[in-house]
Amino acid sequence: MEVGQVIENIHAVIPEDREQNNNNNSVQLNDAAQIEAAGIIIENVANSAVNTGINLMDTGDITDSTVEQRNDQTAENHTNYADATDFALATNINKQKQYIYNCNCSSIEGEQNNNMNSVQINDGAQGSIDSIVLVNAAASAANVGINMLKAGTISGSSVTQVNTATAVNFSNTASGNTAVAGNGELSGFFMPGPIIGP
């Protein structure tokens, strides 16, 4: 079995006041983490494609002016492209699988935080955070764009604010006489050549 994360507890002891944190491609904030964080942009990112764009303008009189603010973003995560004359294959295999095994010989009374491709915010984390843009992303394609304009007189002016965003996550594209594109397991798949899969 091919998995993204394997956790096995054999003869393990996790007391009531203890934690087991097993994170793979994850964001986990514990114990009042970032509780008073402040910033224009705050990002916590794991295994992700993230674009964050911000345009800020604070001005006085802009009469008869031209103002343009743009954010053009493209984010892709876990993308595969294949192109062939006879055979093309594009896949993400088992990237979402997590295997957790606690044997009956283990004593687990505490807390288990087993995270894969996830965001977990615990125990008051980010409780009083102060931010214009806050991004917590795991296994994602995320675009964040913000335009802010503070101005005095703008009569006769042209003001343009544009956010153009494209986000693609776990995408597969295959082209050819025989084309396969997908997310998941490939087991015993027949193609001209060897067998793909366990």
Query: For position 124, what pLDDT does the model report?
Result: 87
Over residues 132-143, the mean pLDDT reads 88
Residues 5/24, Cβ–Cβ less than 8 Å: yes
Q: What is the percentage of the chain residues whose pLDDT exceeds 90?
A: 9
The whole-angstrom separation of Cα 62 and Cα 67 is 9
Identify which of 95, 99, 123 has the alpha carbon closest to the alpha carbon of residue 25.
Answer: 95
The whole-angstrom separation of Cα 191 and Cα 198 is 14
pTM above 0.95, yes or no: no
Residue 191 has pLDDT above 50, yes or no: no
Q: For residue range 168-178, what is the model confidence (pLDDT) as tens digits? A: 888 888 887 77
Query: For position 5, what pLDDT does the model report?
Result: 78
Element at 143 (helix H, strand E): strand 141-150
Q: Which residues pair with 164 in a beta bridge?
A: 72
Q: For residue range 178-187, what is the model confidence (pLDDT) as tens digits? A: 777 776 655 5
The whole-angstrom separation of Cα 123 and Cα 157 is 49
